[in-house]
């Protein structure tokens, strides 16, 4: 192998997944994080969040001595490559907070001061266009007292992995995008990925820092806008008798120019990426003199979407005061325990504001939910218990486990069989035929 020793700065969802996948392929991976508690847990083989197959990958990496987590950045001085994968959260005004990225670049720079290594520094964190060139490279040069190009190299290499599919997406990406002003650096990183992916090597884009950085934002903005678009059509369909957005989405999805993915209407998009990245793109556009109206509209459409669940519940039950509402699904999407910007949060707050009593269940996110809602709501220990004596059930996240729930189960467990399908998981005609008062996003009145 060409590049053998790799440091990953920032062991969050992106960094840790990269680290264990590289270790699986035989690289020696050092993981740095400032959080000593996280580092200790990882060294003990404990995963800090839920992601399919992550525990197995971490256990194998530790067992084969291919992964070491540490709070000591000096371990980087002998590495061939350093990934920056720290968080880039939103500031209160929606702009991006680049302070962790800058700090990571400075830390790496200091470790390179006395190093003989010609290190490749690769920016994985999502950063606004211009960050690698104008912030990261100068910070590395200042702190290392060495020169980019001659003594070390910088590449921008955004990631496109999805939570819940993170390992699969890392091992089988649709494409690789590498940006730099240093062709040799691009070549070096491409070589690593050619080794990593072997025969499955995906299409590659070699480009400028700025194009790579903007591609990442554009990707998320496009997908989020696609979802907001179908949610807008859902709003129209709900007011047209016998209309159903699901069939309309199927109809347009078969057009090869549109495609069927990301056309599932629902209660809106959440997570740690879409909300933050679209806000950052709108703010950046404003700063550089462009009004990104379309993206801003995708954001405002999405902000209204969760309230639809509360509205549908009110339409079905009248006043929600003292009504028992079961909320199934809390994480921002299935197969994760992540509740960042999850639509379940405004839904539950909306129900509580109406005086409802709320009981929730999620296969993975109950611990997260307790931190957010404390004793303001009840926590069930399973879906069936959650439905017990409920006047209405809101399905907020489409976990596969919930798909298995039969109409009879809702009828048997609930006080009133009112089901609001916020993710279009169930067949409306089947549920209605069974006697359920069934409402759903994008479903017109009968």
- Counting beta carbons within 10 angstroms of the beta carbon of residue 211, is it exposed (0 to 12), middle (13 to 18) or buried (19 or more)? middle
Residue 167 beta carbon to ligand UGA: minimum distance, rounded to whole angstroms: 13
Smallest separation, CB 162 to ligand UGA (Å): 4
Beta carbons of 26 and 93 less than 8 angstroms apart: no
Give 162 or 357: the residue with its C-beta nearer to ligand UGA.
162
Query: CA–CA separation, 380 vs 365, rounded Å?
Result: 12
Complex with ligand UGA: residue 324 or 397, whichever CB lies closer: 397
Query: How many beta carbons lie within 10 A of that of residue 367, not counting itself?
Result: 12
CB closer to ligand UGA, 39 vs 249: 249
> CB of residue 210 vs ligand UGA: minimum separation in angstroms?
18
Q: How far apart are CA 192 and CA 119, in angstroms?
A: 13
Q: In 3D, which of 232, 28, 216 has the Cα closest to residue 129?
A: 216
Phi, psi values for residue 69, rounded to 5°: -95, 140
Cα 138 to Cα 7, 110, 322, 326, 334: the distances in Å are 20, 13, 59, 53, 40
φ and ψ at residue 439, rounded to 5 degrees: -125, 150
- Comparison of 180 and 264: residue with beta carbon closer to ligand UGA: 264
Q: Which is nearer to ligand UGA, 141 or 341 (CB)?
A: 341
Q: Whole-number minimum distance, CB 33 to ligand UGA, in Å?
A: 18
Q: Name which of 417, 445, 440 is nearest 427 in CA terms.
A: 440
Q: Is 76 or 225 the residue whose CB approaches ligand UGA more closely?
A: 225
Task: Indicate which residue of 273, 386, 392, 393 is catalytic.
Answer: 273
CB of 320 to ligand UGA, least distance (A): 24
The answer to whether 396 and 422 have CB atoms below 8 angstroms apart is yes
Torsion of CA 182, 188, 189, 191, to 10 degrees: 140
**Distance (Å, rounded) from C-alpha 414 to C-alpha 392?**
8
Minimum Å gap between C-beta 343 and ligand UGA is: 7
- Give contact residues for ligand UGA (rule: CB under 6 A): 126, 159-163, 220, 223, 227, 262-264, 266, 269-271, 273-274, 332-333
Shortest distance in whole angstroms from residue 147 CB to ligand UGA: 32
**Minimal distance, residue 335 CB to ligand UGA, in Å:** 9
Q: Is 76 or 272 the residue whose CB approaches ligand UGA more closely?
A: 272
Please return the burial class of 233, using the count of CB atoms within 10 Å of its CB with bins 0-12, 13-18 and 19+: middle
The answer to whether 273 is a known catalytic residue is yes
**Residue number, 428 or 442, with CB nearest to ligand UGA:** 442
Active site residues: 273
């Amino acid at each position: 192998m060409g590049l053998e020793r790799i440091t990953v700065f920032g062991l969050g969802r992106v960094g840790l997944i990269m680290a264990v996948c590289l270790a699986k392929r035989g690289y020696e991976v050092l993981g740095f994080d400032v959080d000593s508690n996280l580092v200790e847990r990882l060294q003990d083989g404990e995963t800090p969040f839920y992601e399919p197959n992550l525990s197995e990958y971490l256990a194998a990496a530790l067992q084969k001595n291919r992964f070491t987590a540490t709070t000591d950045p000096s371990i980087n001085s002998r590495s061939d490559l350093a990934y920056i994968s720290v968080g880039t959260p939103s500031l209160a005004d929606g702009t991006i907070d680049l302070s962790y990225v800058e700090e990571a670049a400075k830390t790496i720079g200091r470790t390179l001061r006395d190093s003989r290594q010609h290190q490749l520094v690769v920016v994985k964190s999502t950063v606004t266009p211009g960050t690698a060139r104008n912030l990261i490279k100068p910070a590395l040069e200042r702190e290392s007292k060495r020169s980019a190009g001659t003594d070390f190299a910088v590449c921008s290499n955004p990631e496109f992995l999805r939570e819940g599919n993170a390992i699969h997406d890392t091992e089988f990406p649709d494409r690789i995008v590498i940006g730099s002003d240093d062709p040799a650096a691009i070549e070096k990183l491409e070589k690593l990925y050619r080794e990593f992916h072997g025969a499955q090597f995906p299409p590659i884009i070699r480009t400028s820092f700025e194009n790579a950085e903007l591609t990442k934002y554009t990707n998320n903005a496009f997908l989020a806008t696609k979802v907001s678009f179908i949610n807008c059509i859902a709003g129209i369909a709900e007011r047209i008798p016998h209309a159903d957005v699901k069939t309309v989405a199927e109809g347009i999805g078969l057009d090869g120019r549109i495609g069927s993915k990301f056309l599932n209407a629902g209660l809106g998009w959440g997570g740690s990426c879409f909300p933050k990245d679209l806000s950052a793109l709108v703010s950046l556009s404003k700063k550089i003199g462009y009004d990104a109206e379309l993206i801003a509209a995708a954001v405002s459409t999405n902000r209204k979407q969760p309230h639809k669940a509360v509205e549908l519940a009110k339409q079905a039950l009248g006043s929600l005061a003292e009504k028992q509402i079961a909320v199934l699904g809390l994480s921002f999407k299935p197969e994760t325990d992540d509740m960042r910007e999850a639509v379940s949060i405004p839904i539950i707050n909306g129900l509580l504001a109406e005086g409802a009593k709320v009981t929730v269940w999620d296969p993975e996110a109950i611990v997260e939910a307790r931190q957010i809602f404390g004793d303001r709501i009840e926590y069930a220990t399973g879906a069936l218990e959650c439905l017990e004596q409920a006047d209405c059930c809101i399905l907020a996240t489409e976990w596969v486990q919930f798909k298995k729930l039969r109409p009879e189960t809702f009828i048997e467990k609930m006080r009133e069989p009112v089901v609001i399908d916020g993710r279009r998981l169930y067949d409306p005609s089947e549920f209605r035929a069974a006697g359920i008062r069934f409402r759903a996003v994008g479903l017109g009145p009968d």
